[in-house]
Amino acid sequence: MRIIYSCDLHGRKNLYDMLMNFAVEQDCECIIIGGDLFPTRLSAPLKLISGNADFNESLRTQLEFIDTYLVPVLSEFMKKHSHIKILYVPGNHDWKISTEHFRQCLPQAVCMHNAIECINGVTFMGYGCVTDSPFWVKDYVRRDTRTSVHTSSRYPLISTPRGVCISENAAYAYENPSIEEELSSLTLAKHNDAICIFHCPPYDTGLDTLHDGKPIGSLAIRQYIEQNKPMISLHGHIHESPYMSG
């Protein structure tokens, strides 16, 4: 199976267009998108300082992007190129409500979050959550290990059917299992022939190097890879890591 992998497109239409064109040029059978699918925008980001930012605007922007561009474009692409599968996981910038809406509107694209699927004889495992940070979108943020604590944030936000709201008392962290606990139910039956799709990189591997040189990846994801030994493990999330680590 010929596969193309991309991630952190953040709702940039030109990058989606390039991805689809390249997949056709390269005669790919599968496109994998590794998280941060949708735009994360606030029209007045300075209002973050005053506390008057309209975070529901960010959710509305993602839903509009899905309805007016992503679903119709990918749907048409998959009709025209029916042999090309599309797999994806969400990322930490994707609201859960947006991801669920996208999944319902385009069920022929496979959401691999917290799942293991065998597709055309290839085993895929996917997981979109990341370790905690001061950023404000918390839907796909988890504590790393069972003993990890949350990271303080001025705006710990989650999306609900009623809109975006504060996650009181870090409930997003303590009312959900840790990454380590969630991955414990995704054991690969066959080693060495699976492809893992993570948004978050494994800890201290160069894939997780921040602009200041520090690693910020997941210990639990690194342990999962070492124990399950997949054929390939794909990651994104830390945009500067290729430039920082080489």
pLDDT tens readout for residues 197-238: 999 999 999 999 999 999 999 999 999 999 999 999 999 999
Q: Is residue 183 domain-resident?
A: yes
**Distance (Å) of CA 177 to CA 181, 185, 216:** 6, 11, 19
Tell me how long the chain is.
246
Name the residue range of residue 167's domain.
3-237
Q: How many separate domains does the chain show? A: 1
pLDDT exceeds 90 at position 192 = no
pTM greater than the 0.75 cutoff? yes
Q: Is residue 14 domain-resident?
A: yes
The span from the CA of 179 to the CA of 59, in Å, is: 25
The span from the CA of 3 to the CA of 32, in Å, is: 7
The span from the CA of 44 to the CA of 62, in Å, is: 16
Chain mean position to CA 25: 25
The domain that holds 50 is classified in CATH as 3.60.21.10
Q: Can you tell me which residue has the tokens 């994998």?
A: 32
Q: Is residue 244 domain-resident?
A: no
Express each pLDDT in 140-172 by its tens digit: 999 999 999 999 998 999 999 999 999 999 999
Q: Is residue 70 domain-resident?
A: yes
Q: Is residue 66 domain-resident?
A: yes
Percent of the residues in the chain that have a pLDDT greater than 90, as a whole number: 86
Q: Is residue 57 domain-resident?
A: yes
Write down the pLDDT at residue 234: 98
Q: Is residue 243 domain-resident?
A: no
Tokens of 108: 């022929």
